[in-house]
Amino acid sequence: MSKIIVIGGGAAGMMAAYAAGLCGHKVILIEKNEKLGKKIYITGKGRCNFTNACSEEDFLKNVVSNPKFLYSAIYTFNSDAMIDFIEGHGTVTKVERGNRAFPESDHASDITKALKKGLDEFSVDIRLNTEVKNIIISDDIAVGVELKDHKKINADHVIVCTGGLSYSTTGSTGDGLKWAKQLGIKVTDTRPALVPLNVKEAYIAKMQGLALKNVSLNIFEGNKSIYDGFGEMLFTHFGVSGPLVLSASSIIGKKLQACGNLKAVIDLKPALSLEELDNRLLRDFNENMNKHLSSVLRGLLPASMVPVFIEILNFDDGRQINSVTKEERMAIINLLKAFPFTITGLREYKEAIITQGGVSVKAIDPSTMKCKNINGLSFAGEVLDLDAFTGGFNLQIAWSTGYLAGISIS
């Protein structure tokens, strides 16, 4: 029986501790917070979308960074296995739109309770309010940890599951990234991901609170499209947010940091071609020739967007339909199909769902999660350079890598 220390009592850490216990090891789980799974409690707006019940193939298609690295992990412990684990530990689950899995109660705490039951099965020694200062290395072998109070705990193997940099209030303060750098392990550049975006134009803030559904968002680096998506988005006082924007942030983050600004356009009527939209507008104009343009635009746009449209088109507020020229009508159509704004940056980590970047997967054996250069040391979860879109995929990365790390210790 080996003595295993798992640092971090989040999703990856709890699963790694369970899996190590399953293999007969004596496990100590160290968590600096007052309770386990603090970040789990706020996922899915408190409901905890704990996995996505899709095939392994579809799962990997939703991974943004280094999907090939996850092949062994996801095939070893997939979403079906996670659902079985949760169900087997007393929490009934359900699958909703988009294969998103939740506890039937809609209480994230029930996921943590199920995990705690798993830990209790193997008498995992859980040490809360305990902070690790350093990993102790001797002759390129991890032999234990030093706590913040300078106490040392010896171990045969250490698994680092400290998370990334997002939601620092839950304890994700980059400790594992710092230790990796100190040990000479490559850490890739980090940035907030699944995060809202800052926008340059003042007119965006005038639509604060407006949610758009069934629109297309296209983002460009120069003339090259680097993101094209369909869905829902939200205007805010600083820029844009919503599911469509969060997904975009994970794709464009690196480019945005390099370029500074990126141009974006929204197709407000993606189901209509230019010709179909022109016919619709002509019909509306012919039926309302003596009315103000703003009244007709309200039939095409949300009310808070109409003044912004008129401002961008540089039309008078009181402009009547019968005075609109063909060229001006085409300008309206083009704006409906390509509403522009400029993305100036990502919002901060405190608003990000996950962290992009982290411990380089090149330094980790994908079949075991063990560090290639330091024996007795593994990494799992968000501390690694792995991230995916929303929908339960990021938590499943934590479960899968944590489980594989735990069962791979001899």
Question: 67: which 2 tokens?
Answer: 């999907």
Cα separations in angstroms, 332 against 220, 234, 309, 315, 320: 22, 22, 8, 11, 14
Question: 75: which 2 tokens?
Answer: 């095939």
Above 80 in pLDDT, residue 215?
yes
| pLDDT tens column, 277-313 | 999 999 989 988 888 888 889 989 999 999 999 999 9
Cα separations in angstroms, 92 against 36, 95, 143, 399, 403: 20, 11, 40, 18, 21
| pLDDT tens column, 23-75 | 999 999 999 999 999 999 888 888 999 999 999 999 999 999 999 999 999 99
Question: 105: which 2 tokens?
Answer: 């109660």
Q: What is the rounded distance in angstroms from the CA atom of residue 242 to the CA atom of residue 273?
A: 25
Above 80 in pLDDT, residue 348?
yes
Report which residue type is found at 146: E
| pTM of the entire predicted model | 0.94
| pLDDT tens column, 243-259 | 999 999 999 999 998 88
| pLDDT tens column, 68-94 | 999 999 999 999 999 999 999 999 999
Q: Are 111 and 91 in contact (CB under 8 A)?
A: yes
Q: What is the rounded distance in angstroms from the CA atom of residue 186 to the CA atom of residue 358?
A: 9
Q: Are 407 and 172 in contact (CB under 8 A)?
A: no
- Across 183-243, where does the E strand assignment appear? 191-193, 197-199, 211-221, 224-235, 239-241
pLDDT of residue 288: 86
Q: What is the rounded distance in angstroms from the CA atom of residue 280 to the CA atom of residue 301?
A: 13
Element (H, E) at 345: strand 339-346
Q: What is the rounded distance in angstroms from the CA atom of residue 178 to the CA atom of residue 269?
A: 47
Q: What is the rounded distance in angstroms from the CA atom of residue 177 to the CA atom of residue 189?
A: 10
Question: 25: which 2 tokens?
Answer: 């090891």
pLDDT of residue 170: 80
- Kindly give the interhelix angle for 326-337 and 306-313, rounded to the nearest 10 degrees: 120
